[in-house]
Structure 1
Amino acid sequence: MTKSDNNGIHNHPHLHPNIIHDPSSETSGIIASELAAEDGNLIPNDSFKSHTYGSIESQDNDHHQETNYEIDEPNGGYALPPAQLYTVVSSLFMASFLSALDATVVTTLLTLIASDLHAIKNISWIATAYLLSSSAFQPIFGKLSDIFGRKFILIGCTFLFGIGCLICVTDSLLWLVIGRFITGWGGSGLTSVGTMTMSDLIPLRDRGLYQGLANICFGLGSASGGFIGGIIADTLGWKYVFILQIPLAIVVGLCIQLYLNLPEGSPGLGAHGQDIWQKLKRVDFLGSFCLISSLMLILTAASLGGRDIEYSSNTFILLSISSLILLSGFFYVEAYISEEPIIPIELLGNRTVLASSLTNWFYTMGIFATMFFVPIYYTSVLDMTASENGLRLVPNLFSISLGSVGAGLYMKKTGKYYKLTVLAGIIAILGVYKITLITPTIPTWQQFLLLIPSGLGYSCILTITLLALISATPFKYQACTTSIQYTFRSTGSTLGVSAASAIFQNVLATELTKRIYLIIKDPKDAQKIINQALDSTNYIHQAPKSVQQAIRSSYESGCKGAFYFALGTVTLGVLSSLFMREHKLHSTLNRK
């Protein structure tokens, strides 16, 4: 994320971002799929219709009997011996790093690749394809891994990731986009199922600490993607950016195959006593189709709206309406048709599940808006270079790492999280409020510290909301609740940046029209300047000196509009977090 901001986004038109980074999709790292609480009374089992998540013993071909999990844990509350555990967890960290790196690795290469393939007009699809598949497929992996087992799904995702990278080694734009789509599909599974697997291995009370370490790995991958991609492209050629990821994916797959041996009773083992065809019959294909299609359409509309397609165009309207119809169809299928829903929507009736999901959704909207538009402010208003801009974003990476690890250590020591939730919310609101007060005379030292408070609060909330969400539901829903979390995060990041961009564009256009027409009396000349200023921040240096300050002031107003949007959404996130309940964080896998 940081490096991508440093390596090219602000050298292109800022009004319509070519890449919307979702480091879940793409920035804060693998987020937990933590162990669930033992209190099944929070959501009575009989309120769900035959949702058989987790390890299941089949009595016959048509009837599934749920198992009460009692995990063999001879390793001090952990699922594996220390050496084996560290090997598996390290491989999952590497998978997280690769997924994050691949999401941003093309940020510095878009122009190079598009020129080499003679596809400048379709440059955005090189990056957008990864974003769309990564966000759209994440929600389905929880249920699939409950049926087929974590190891099977992880190895399959590793295979998809490697095959996708291999397909990217091509001279065809179409195949490159297909390869990026497949890579995103596999990468999303590596992150989401990786978090579920770590929850199968690590007790909930210790899970936050491991989560903080995972966040660092994901953050490093996301931040270094553009830098690593640029170096490899300059020395070996851009195709080696994808080639060199293949052996790393193979190593991850081998480690998982050899060392991920979950103990008897673990929900990560999948369904027992069923062949592949019986397992396939349990997959909610109709619900999955509706959900994936809906997310694909809404994310496409959000990503391309205002840039490649006008908000008022028939295409945008059709995409939006179709996504809503499919989303409604998904809810209907899950509630009335599917025997084993991909996401049991009844879970959202639980106060803590709904509150933590909304908290994550609103926070992600606001924080991503600030992470995208603060660099735009630095570039357009303060006239910073790419390197100067990037340096000012580096401290935010450390604040995210500190927040994640700090929250994990706090919960490991105390077994509590609600007070930390309130504190993180106060820090986040004050941090974003400080961003709304930014002026062109902001001292240099404050420029480096500006994003730290909001990043610190957000990174704490990412870990807290997952722990709260998972601990509030029965053990059998640990994978399913992770899917819910990823859905809210992925859509929140994309919709947040898109909504902030729309506000930015409207305010900028209004301010430019008002200011430029006061200076330039010829309507044609004035409109020409306005159009060029709307097209790129670089035009500020080329515009007549008489209007340069007016253009900068207009950009400042546009950014402020995005910042106020961020403040509003983060505030809604904080208010949502207050409705979460405090649930017990257990010290063993059997929640004792």
Structure 2
Amino acid sequence: MEVSEASSLLDSKVNVVNDSSSAEAGIIANNLANEFLRDEDQQDGAGGEVYGSVASEQADGEDDDEGYAVPKKKLYIIAGSIFMGSYLSALDTTVVTTLLTVISSDLNCLPQSSWIATSYLLSCSAFQPLFGKLSDIFGRKELILLCNFCFALGCILCGISGSLFPLIVGRFITGIGGGGMTSLGTVAMSDLVSLRKSASGGVLGGLIADRYGWKWVFIFQVPLALIGAALIYFFMELPKDSPGRGLQGHDIWEKLKKVDFLGSSLLVIALIGILSAASFGGSDIAYDSLFFKVLVATSVAALVAFCYVEANIAEQPTLPVRLLANRSVLACSLANWFFTMGTFSYFYYIPVWFSSVLGLNSTQTGLRFVPNFFSIAIGSLGSGIYMRKTGRYKNLNICIGLVSVCGVLRLCFINPSISVIGQYSLTVIPGIGYSSMLTISLLALISAVTPEQQASTTSIQYAFRATGSTLGVSIGSAIFQKKLYSNLTHNLMENVPIDVDKSTVLKIISKAFRSSEYVDKAPEWSKALIRDSYSNACIATFWWSFITITVGYLSGCFIREYKLHATMKRTNE
């Protein structure tokens, strides 16, 4: 990506897709959006078809800097520091997918392993939608610094934890910082690094864990986060007219008055409550308990109140929920929601299958996710090229969505005899489908609203994707735990040797349920049965992924076709 593009993104004038989680999809959709002009002769929004998107603007700068918002040398430092923050955020998400069984087995807490994953995703989901609006008020620099320090603090807690609870707290704090670094890293390089996370995150985390232990995976990120914060502090000085500087000419109290505290608080309460109920209901919290009922009731009430406040009270709403009345906005959001549920679910449990059924270590598991990098690139670039040439996307969305569904269906029939090539290719087809869906839905979303609504609309979609990732892992974990315990009990009890008593079998079941690594220490007669139990439990989560991605595909079929004009217009201010 050209440096001038990164500079324009830093100036917050070109990047209508302010969501680095979209990775290569964000790059492609943003470039296409800047090429396709809105046809002013056509109607927009609810009244008729909307065509195209906004023309890009070029930052006005000194001739020596070729129109860059900041001098090139400073730009490289700023981009590099945000690059580091976005990479760390992506790394911290993906390393857990390959280390989940290692960490939970070491702490002897496999039944509670979902807490390790969902605590990070929970805080990301609850707080990420707030950062965009807060940075408009207080400034990008201040919010990025805060997020870097939160991330470093969380990693320290994870690195020194010797039990489950401090690890969960550390992951939650890390999620607040990591989510902010991701959503605020609005430069092209950040998007590119988020793409590469799928290749390097699992491998790097696996190598460190195998050599030094899983705690060092978190500890080594602390100095990097602090270095990134230092670079941001000393070098990130945006132009005076940049919206990234926040509200100018306002003191701290005037800025605080602009914050939608009521709506933001209700959103956080609703998301944490709903996601906690989904994550821990039935396992750590009984469904018929008073606490669970109060939690659900409070969360739903907070969500309803949030929607009312955002639609009728807030002057500057955190998330403008009224835009969901637009059919394409709603369809794109639901497609992202369900696709992300399924994708994150299988992404977390394929490593569990590799380690528990095939006996692979963290490094070997991480290497098998490397092809996912290429599949994401192929999906995003391929769909981008198609839309650039044709100006259409609906038929592509229908076809590529069906391919993704078939790719996930393949996971449901996985077995221990799978070839090495098959292991490496497991995520290729689903990866192509997911990245294509992101690219298509992002551009369709931009095309369906007016330029003034684009930033707010992409924030809505980001909230759907963030909550989808948490719900996917949470529900997938609940399915996995229930199926695993049921299979272990049935398989071992039905095939116990005559000379082994029931109490011994119950101990084996308990140890196998708490740690996937126990299979290597288990009695010889039980090893194959334990592996089979883990395999069936993982496959149950893959069926959950198949169902959700199928629903996401059907939701995407309701996206309207908006003709994209290929006229390009560049203006200088």
- Report if the CA contact (8 A) 1:162-1:246 is conserved: yes
CA 438–69 in structure 1, closer or farther in 2 if over 3 Å, else same: closer
CA–CA separation in structure 2 for the residues paired with 1:29 and 1:560: 29
Is the alpha carbon distance of 1:82 and 1:223 closer, same or farther for their aligned partners in structure 2, counting shifts above 3 Å?
farther
- Give the total of aligned pairs: 531
In 1, are the aligned partners of 2:375 and 2:431 still within 8 Å (CA)? yes
User: 1:396 deviation in Å?
Assistant: 1.9
TM-fit CA distance, 1:144: 2.5
Q: Which residue of 1 aligns with 2:413?
A: 437
Task: Give the letter for the 1:376 counterpart.
Answer: V
State which of 221, 235, 239 in structure 2 corresponds to 1:261.
Answer: 239
C-alpha separation in 1, matches of 2:528 and 2:94: 33
Tell me, yes or no, if the aligned pair for 1:134 and 1:185 is still in contact at 8 Å.
yes
From 106, 130, 148, the counterpart of 1:140: 130
User: 457, 476, 500: which one pairs with 1:481?
Assistant: 457
Match of 1:569 among 548, 551, 556: 548
**CA distances 1:388-426 after superposition (whole Å, capped 9, x unpaired):** 433322222332243334444555555544344234212
Q: In the alignment, what sits opposite 2:270?
A: 294
1:184 corresponds in structure 2 to 175
Query: Match for residue 581 of structure 1?
Result: 560
8 Å contact from structure 2 (residues 99, 206) kept in 1: no
Aligned-residue CA RMSD in angstroms? 4.7
Match runs of 1:112-511 below 5 Å: 130-150=120-140, 153-158=143-148, 160-161=150-151, 181-195=172-186, 213-219=192-198, 222-223=201-202, 226-227=205-206, 230=209, 239-255=219-235, 257-258=236-237, 260-261=238-239, 275-305=251-281, 308-310=284-286, 313-411=289-387, 415-511=391-487
**Structure 1: distance between partners of 2:222 and 2:394:** 43
Relative distance call for 1:248 and 1:272 in structure 2 (3 A) is closer
Q: Supply the distance in 1 between the matched residues of 2:401 and 2:256 (Cα, whole angstroms).
A: 43
Residues 527, 167 of structure 1: alpha-carbon distance in 2 compared, 3 angstrom cutoff: closer
Structure 1 residue identity aligned to 2:90:
A
Q: What does the per-residue CA deviation read over 1:81-129, in whole Å, with 9 as the maximum and x for residues that have no partner?
A: 8947766555443331122234456889999999999x99999877765
Which piece of structure 1 moves more, 501-510 or 451-460? 501-510
234-243 or 356-365, which deviates more: 234-243
Contact 1:30 1:191 in 2 (8 A): no
- Whichever residue aligns with residue 482 of structure 1, its letter is T
Q: Aligned pair in 2 of structure 1 residues 168, 297: CA closer, same or farther (>3 Å)?
A: same
The answer for the alignment partner of 1:553 in structure 2 is 532
Q: Distance in 2 between matches of 1:44 and 1:470?
A: 14
- Give the Å deviation of 1:493: 1.3
Check conservation: 2:21, 2:183, Cα contact below 8 A.
Answer: no
Per the alignment, residue 15 of structure 1 pairs with none
Q: Which amino acid is the alignment partner of residue 254 of structure 2? A: Q
Deviation of 1:284 after TM superposition, in Å, equals 1.0
User: TM-score when scaled to structure 2?
Assistant: 0.76
- Partner Cα distance (1:519, 1:236) in 2: 38
| Alignment partner of 1:536 is 2:527 | no
Question: What are the superposed Cα offsets for residues 27-74 of structure 1, whole Å, 9 maximum, x if unpaired?
Answer: 9689569569857954479xxxxxxxxxxxxxxxxxxxxxx9995655
Residue 99 of structure 1 is matched in structure 2 by 89
CA distance in structure 2 between the aligned counterparts of 1:184 and 1:249, rounded to whole angstroms = 17
> Which stretches in structure 2 are left out of the alignment for 5+ residues?
1-18, 48-53
